[in-house]
Structure 1
Amino acid sequence: MPDLRGLGVSPGRTAGPVLLMAAAPALPPPGPPLSRRAGTAAVAAALSAVAAELDRRAGRAGGEARDILEAQAMMAADPTLLQAAEEHVVAGMDAAHALDTAFAEHRAALVAAGGYFAERAADLDDLRNRAVAAALGMPMPGVPDPGHPFVLVAEDLSPADTAGLSADVLALVTEKGGPTSHTAILAKSRGLPAVVACAGALALEEGTLVSVDGSTGEVRAGLDGPAAEEVRRLAEAERAELAHSSGPGRTADGHPVKLLLNIGSAADLAARAEGVGLFRTELLFLDRRSAPAFDEQVAAYAEVFAAVPGAIVRTLDAGTDKPLPFLDLPAEQNPALGIRGLRVDRLRQEVLDTQLAAVVEAARATGAEPSVMAPMVSTPREAADFAGRARAAGIRRVGVMIEVPAAALLAEAILAEVDFLSIGTNDLGQYTFAADRQHPALADLLDPWQPALLRLVEMCAAAGLAAGKTVGVCGEAAGDPRLAPVLVGLGVTSLSMSAVCVPAVRTALAGHTLEECRTLAKAALRPDNPGPR
């Protein structure tokens, strides 16, 4: 079989035998109608079993995996889903078919809503498979457990699957998914090599020895035992070398580049980075029927500030594309282009006011001097308004995220209003190419090596240099050790990433002088050079 290539989304190399993901349960022919009491009890028991299993996995997980699993458990426990399934039982369906139909209806509604809602459709598919299996008395589908190391190959992976991976999983390869999918994010947090959007992966035969390169996206088939062992040996030598990586980020000739962390809570902190470049505060707000109280926010922020006094806090990044029940925002036809990020402030100003006050109180209690930045800023006026609010609250250093092309094009004017910029390459790529971040057929357009995206990064970095202000990158691109020298060559001053990516990025920067980084950047900006993938 010829070699395969997808998008490398979590760096590292390894080799091992292929095992395919266990298939979803097939629906048998419709069974005889159940009594209303028996049928409704059966669908309730199935959904309850799914929620309980996901809660159990969440209890064993940590960081982003825990948050994602808890969100999935909430979806399984949604009373509207149970009500829909019960209505189909009353109409004469058996429990399995009632659940299948209810999930199909919910899925269609999410896809029609678009944006963040459509991104959650894959999560519903996983919940459907688990619930139907429970109703049929079958084991819930999931990752195989052969008792030996293997490369997991699947059409796609749910958050529950990825978060519950055993130590025997060497690498992940999926036919679907994109660079910002749950598979990519969780694989990177686990340090597992991963390749997504890899066409033909499911044609690999079980037991075939393959090598996986999570940096280049290459999947080589047809290895023999000695060749696979050599790949693993070299990979282990690389990991051992990276384990000794320490110190501040800098190029070979000493040009400093701060290496920072993306975190959701204090649990994600690691000692080998130089600070926190992105504190995602929305994880504190997820699946809440009411906003977290002022004191609860203060406690969560203070826990991070006590460890990292100069952490950069991103204010709530939510809205109709990332719905939070307590916000009670109206539904939109195109939520990714609607009320999200800082735009929530247009309707619910008290949310930002409370958050800024909590940040200030947490800073006072810990003696810290955190910075804050707002997501989804589009104009200099929005940047000025946010900066005024934050400074009036008592925060000295204020920045904004650059996630839409309009902001990148006016970076110079925006920097006249704020102290720093942080480029979110995930959303900036989505809006630059008008490509849904979760659409598997468009994954190549979300590749951060795209020259058009890099040109926007260059514009922001040039504006920062002219103003004497810092410009960082905190999207998934920042954790790519091959792209990091390019970003530095474009003028970026800091890179913020998952903790597991820091050693490789530090080593990559140390292998290039600043002038070499600039040469790499010039090559990457060429329209005919979409990158090494």
Structure 2
Amino acid sequence: MAELTGVGIGLGVAQGPVARIADPLPAPDKTASAQAPDAEKARFRTAVDAVARELESRGARAGGTAQDVLEAQAMMAEDPELADQVDERIDAGYTAEWSVVDAFAAFRDLLTEAGGYLGERAADLDDVAQRVLAQLRGVAAPGLPEPGHPYVLVARDLAPADTALLDLDLVLAVVTSDGGPTSHTAILAREKGITAIVGVSGAASLVDGETVIVDAETGTVITSPSETELEKAAAKARARRAAAAAPLSAGALADGTAVPLLANLGSPAGAAEAVAKGAEGVGLFRTEFLFLSADTAPSVAEQQAAYTQLLEAFPGRKVVVRALDAGADKPLSFLNDSEEENPALGVRGIRALRASEQILRDQLTALAAADAVTDADLWVMAPMVATVEETEYFTAIVHEHGLKTAGVMIETPAAALIADRVLARTEFASIGTNDLTQYTMAADRLLGSVADLQSPWHPAVLSLIGSVGSAGAELAKPVGICGEAAADPLLAVVLVGLGATSLSMAPSALADVRASLTRYTLDDARRIAAAALAASDAAGARAAARAAAEKENQS
């Protein structure tokens, strides 16, 4: 028996035989075409169109975050600049197959060099290239295995198109050698409630057919398990299913300390599922869905209709709406389309809104109108705040529009370090752990080459979260968590121990986090958090927290 480790997603545990994703199609030789260039170009465009439509169809069937990812891939496949690069190679006399592979590889290198959001998309481009090549050859694109029985899926990483349509009756768990807790694989696995461990060193050694245990709670993959280990894992899985089937209850610690569990939503369409899974409200409503696919900002009436639909789903409950967060990886031509050397450090979030204040005013007008005709408890927060002055500006303009509860997102170290002064000027704070980790560690959260630095478990990140929590306690101001960190069941306990008063996550993570919180008192959570803070790195913090948690469970 051997044990491989990685980053677990959720609390799931599964066992079964390994099935690996097929190797990529072999690259074509650089040979001259026997057809005229126009014929080769026609073949290429037919293949690209088929791939793009297939990606869009998969996205429509999958819905949610997966649909956004796959539609972005479809747009990538039909990128005019990329098509021009393929045409140049075909005009030089080469086959469409070789031209596609060579042009896509060159484009991939450019994306990798660009880094940031574009760098992360390089891996998605590889998948598109394989699909176009398969269309040209008239063969099936490499993808999910079909062993004819349930299996543990093992891969270097999963293409979004494959993750989006995983058959949950067949895929028992997912194990990848690449990726971190904010990778597409992790995010989509969390959204679908799939047992998954990412970043597993040694995953390449797993072979088809061998039985493994995948324990996301401990982040371990056990190979060649004994019968005793298999039964223990089965019992753990049964207990988790029983807990998930139990009547829904409010989030709370073992001593009765309330910890409201809220949902992160990207559109009103997800509200029903969130309520069904026990969300006590919304901790982060992303409004970008109204803006990202438009050439002009949506009207006040269009926005009001969407906000009203959302608020109606949560009568009497808290709904936290984030003002438009654009810039960086979400540029908008009507808000900020200027070229920036480093857009993650440029005009984004509250900075972009202040530069185009009418867009912010229209959004607040629409929110106030929706609030007036619904019974939800509406809170509005500003993205990417870094200064006290920005806090004062946003709080004032929210109140000016008749909205009673204004707050800010703590996503920069600057805001975390002066959280006492920030919270003194507004009603609440919500910590976005994804960006806070990125800026604290100087590691782009969308860049796979620095994925090992993108962990909210790092003591530097936890220390900043603790500073915000302490400021909130001192001023009696709520401090929520709405980044991916809140969906990690053990890290959720640490966050509460650091002063978080509510946790917001993908609806599929609610049951696991609710179950995790019930194991510990507030004093336990503080001791577990202290153990994590005392570590030297992210892996050490996670291990220290797990050891402290096990000690508390035994006492």
Q: TM-score range by the shorter chain?
A: over 0.9
| TM-superposition CA deviations, 1:279-334 (whole Å, max 9, x none) | 11123333433333433322222211111253111122221333345545122222
**Alignment-derived partner of residue 62 in structure 1:** 63
Matched ranges for 1:43-442 at <5 A: 43-167=44-168, 168-223=170-225, 227-228=229-230, 230-269=232-271, 270-271=274-275, 272-309=278-315, 310-327=318-335, 329-440=337-448, 442=450
Task: Say whether residues 1:9 and 2:9 are aligned partners.
Answer: yes
Identify the range of structure 1 (27-36 vs 43-52) with the bigger mean alpha-carbon deviation.
27-36
One-letter amino acid matched to 1:370: L
CA distance in 2, matches of 1:93, 1:397: 63
- For residues 450 and 245 of structure 1, do their structure 2 counterparts lie closer, same or farther at Cα, with a shift above 3 Å needed? farther
TM-score in terms of structure 1 length:
0.95
Aligned residues: 533
Question: Over the residues paired in the alignment, what is the CA RMSD in angstroms?
Answer: 2.0
Contact 1:288 1:326 in 2 (8 A): no
Contact 1:116 1:322 in 2 (8 A): no
Contact 1:111 1:121 in 2 (8 A): yes
CA distance in 2, matches of 1:93, 1:195: 42
Contact 2:243 2:515 in 1 (8 A): no
Identify the range of structure 1 (80-89 vs 151-160) with the bigger mean alpha-carbon deviation.
80-89
Segments of 5+ residues of structure 2 without an aligned counterpart are 547-555
- TM-aligned CA deviation for residue 439 of structure 1: 4.0
Among candidates 489, 509, 513, match of residue 517 of structure 2: 509
CA distance in 1, matches of 2:493, 2:447: 28
Contact 2:130 2:141 in 1 (8 A): yes
- TM-aligned CA deviation for residue 42 of structure 1: 1.3
CA distance in 1, matches of 2:38, 2:370: 52
One-letter amino acid matched to 2:4: L
Identify the range of structure 1 (351-360 vs 379-388) with the bigger mean alpha-carbon deviation.
351-360
CA distance in 1, matches of 2:305, 2:141: 38
Identify the range of structure 1 (378-387 vs 321-330) with the bigger mean alpha-carbon deviation.
321-330
Segments of 5+ residues of structure 1 without an aligned counterpart are none
One-letter amino acid matched to 1:267: A
TM-score in terms of structure 2 length:
0.91
Contact 2:419 2:468 in 1 (8 A): yes
| TM-superposition CA deviations, 1:101-135 (whole Å, max 9, x none) | 33223323322322222222222121111112212
- TM-aligned CA deviation for residue 237 of structure 1: 2.6
- TM-aligned CA deviation for residue 472 of structure 1: 0.7
CA distance in 1, matches of 2:201, 2:467: 34
Contact 2:327 2:336 in 1 (8 A): no
- TM-aligned CA deviation for residue 387 of structure 1: 1.7
- For residues 356 and 86 of structure 1, do their structure 2 counterparts lie closer, same or farther at Cα, with a shift above 3 Å needed? farther
CA distance in 2, matches of 1:429, 1:313: 22
Q: Secondary structure at the match of 2:8?
A: strand
Contact 2:380 2:406 in 1 (8 A): yes
CA distance in 2, matches of 1:39, 1:350: 50
**Alignment-derived partner of residue 29 in structure 1:** 29
One-letter amino acid matched to 1:32: A
Contact 1:250 1:509 in 2 (8 A): yes
Contact 2:336 2:352 in 1 (8 A): no
Among candidates 525, 534, 542, match of residue 531 of structure 1: 542
Q: Secondary structure at the match of 1:3?
A: strand
Identify the range of structure 1 (491-500 vs 521-530) with the bigger mean alpha-carbon deviation.
521-530
- For residues 289 and 80 of structure 1, do their structure 2 counterparts lie closer, same or farther at Cα, with a shift above 3 Å needed? farther
